[in-house]
Amino acid sequence: MSMPLVYLDNNATTSVAPEVLEAMLPYLRDAYGNPSSMHDFGGHLSKVVDHARGQLAALIGAHPDEIIFTSCGTESDNTAIASALETQPTKRHLVTTKVEHPALISQMNFLQKKGYEVTFVEVRPDGICEPETVRAAIRPDTAIVSVMWANNETGVINPIAEIAAAVKEKGVLFHTDAVQAVGKEPIDLSVTPVDMLSLSGHKLHAPKGIGALFLRRGTPFRPYIMGGHQENGRRGGTYAVPNIVALGAAAELAGAHMAEERRRVTALRDRLEAGLLERIPAVHRLGNPELRLFNTTAVSFEFIEGEAILLLLSENGVCASSGSACSSGSLEPSHVLRAMGLPFELCHASIRFSFSRYNTDADVDRVLEVTPGIIRELRRISPFTPPELLR
Ligand SMILES: *Cc1c(COP(=O)(O)O)cnc(C)c1O
């Protein structure tokens, strides 16, 4: 596989930062011990794990003992929900939204089959989940409410502080899937009343195979992965030292770069968006234009298929995405865009470009150079294109 010319699919996964690779290499090469061992060769690595835990905790305003390392964002999400049900066996109702990641939606569907009741709350046409809608869905038997911090397909950012406050007012557990927000948005859990929060390394320039669950002190908890005494008995499995070191390093880097990256990447993203809207007719920008991640733009091109656009972009060395990576491959339109009430045709014709700190002005130039021709060509062969658009 040759290197893509332009990688604009960072909400699907990111490259491992060079600093992160450097930080983890010693623990792949030589320092391969087990932190739980009695001998010093392994045992001293528990200090390395503690250091990484501190780095990650600092990024989100948590105490180090509130961080549980997991294998991925999906495991963190599944753990949070399962724990809420295990610790409150009489509560059989859950609340989430219609726009969650498949990590959450699949588990909720599974729980429904097991006899639990799930309320999937609506979002606004701009993708925002309103605190009032969430509050209204809560019942006396609600075990947990889970609302994502930022959406992976549109980048839309929910008012999580307000939602969390509304849920806590009712005395119910609150979880948020913050996989897309951590490392991009400032997060301070010392002031935001979230009980549990999921994050994933490979969305912030650490490798795949490492995630974490924030668990607020005092929150009742049952492990999901049962095993040894790792993570204070909260998650079994030998510490993945290289990956944990990587996530710590990536968290520190993200914190150090965040303000500068926001400024620089917002400018790139906005130039791409304005360029597409200016050069191509019948294009729509999706989701709330202000309340969204600075790295994400989702657009929809009338009369053509998102998948066709992706293939031609790929032939031109540009990596983007249509809908979520998990639902691409099937031609089902995105559940997120459908929940926003977008007409069926526009759901099918959506493309997401997502930036990272490694994108440049040249990347934006390349996309603006190739996309108008691709759209024109696809519209020329589409039976749905009105003739006036082809002139
Ligand atoms: C990527 C992603 C996940 C899943 O994380 P993995 O580490 O790939 O399991 C969950 N939620 C959101 C919002 C995501 O973007």
pTM of the model: 0.96
Atom of ligand 1 nearest to the CA of 72: 7
Examine the domain organization and report whether 240 and 333 are in the same domain: no
Examine the domain organization and report whether 365 and 288 are in the same domain: yes
Mark whether 326 is an active-site residue: yes
pLDDT tens digits, the chain, 391 residues: what are they?
Answer: 555 689 999 999 999 999 999 999 999 999 999 999 999 999 999 999 999 999 999 999 999 999 999 999 999 999 999 999 999 999 999 999 999 999 999 999 999 999 999 999 999 999 999 999 999 999 999 999 999 999 999 999 999 999 999 999 999 999 999 999 999 999 999 999 999 999 999 999 999 999 999 999 999 999 999 999 999 999 999 999 999 999 999 999 999 999 999 999 999 999 999 999 999 999 999 999 999 999 999 999 999 989 999 999 999 999 999 864 444 555 678 899 999 999 887 888 899 999 999 999 999 999 999 999 999 999 999 888 888 888 7
Looking at residue 59, its pLDDT comes to 98
In 3-state terms the chain splits into helix, strand, coil percentages (rounded to 5) of 45, 15, 40
Examine the domain organization and report whether 312 and 221 are in the same domain: no
Entry field: residues in the chain: 391
Atom of ligand 1 nearest to the CA of 325: 1
Examine the domain organization and report whether 213 and 290 are in the same domain: no
How many separate domains does the chain show? 2
Separation CA 319–CA 4 (nearest Å):
7
Element (H, E) at 282: none
Spacing, Cα 281 to ligand 1 middle (Å): 33
Looking at residue 329, its pLDDT comes to 53
Residues contacting ligand 1 via CB (< 6 Å): 72-74, 101, 103, 148, 152, 177, 179-180, 200, 202-203, 211
Examine the domain organization and report whether 249 and 116 are in the same domain: yes
Judge whether 374 lies within some domain: yes
Pairing of strands 67-70, 93-97: unpaired
CA angle 323, 326, 327 (to 5 degrees): 55
- Which one of 218, 253, 288 terminates a domain? 253
Looking at residue 5, its pLDDT comes to 87
Examine the domain organization and report whether 284 and 197 are in the same domain: no
3-state secondary structure of 85: helix
Which CATH number belongs to the domain containing residue 381 in this structure? 3.90.1150.10
Examine the domain organization and report whether 290 and 211 are in the same domain: no
Spacing, Cα 274 to ligand 1 middle (Å): 28
Looking at residue 324, its pLDDT comes to 46
Dihedral of CA atoms 104, 106, 109, 114 in degrees, nearest 10, equals -100
Query: 152, 157, 243: which to mutate for ligand 1, most atoms within 8 A of CB?
Result: 152
**What is the Cβ-side half-sphere exposure of residue 144, based on CA atoms within 13 angstroms?**
30
Q: Which residue, 190, 156, 160, 146, is CA-closest to 296?
A: 156
Whether residue 79 contacts residue 235, with contact meaning beta carbons closer than 8 Å, is answered with yes
Spacing, Cα 75 to ligand 1 middle (Å): 9
Examine the domain organization and report whether 280 and 245 are in the same domain: no
Examine the domain organization and report whether 114 and 165 are in the same domain: yes
Which CATH number belongs to the domain containing residue 197 in this structure? 3.40.640.10
Which of 72, 129, 319, 326 does the annotation list as catalytic?
326
- Which one of 200, 221, 253 terminates a domain? 253
Examine the domain organization and report whether 243 and 270 are in the same domain: no
Judge whether 346 lies within some domain: yes
Q: Residue 78 corresponds to which tokens in the numbers above? A: 């599944």
Examine the domain organization and report whether 149 and 226 are in the same domain: yes
**Which residue segment(s) compose the domain that 312 sits in?**
6-14+258-390
Looking at residue 333, its pLDDT comes to 84
- Which one of 186, 220, 253 terminates a domain? 253
Alpha helices in the chain (DSSP H): 18-29, 40-43, 45-60, 73-87, 102-113, 131-137, 160-169, 230-233, 241-279, 306-315, 335-339, 344-348, 361-381
Atom of ligand 1 nearest to the CA of 150: 13
Examine the domain organization and report whether 208 and 355 are in the same domain: no
Judge whether 112 lies within some domain: yes
Looking at residue 332, its pLDDT comes to 77
Judge whether 1 lies within some domain: no
Looking at residue 383, its pLDDT comes to 87
Judge whether 72 lies within some domain: yes
Looking at residue 1, its pLDDT comes to 53
CA-to-CA dists, residue 64 to 61, 212, 253, 354, angstroms: 9, 12, 18, 30
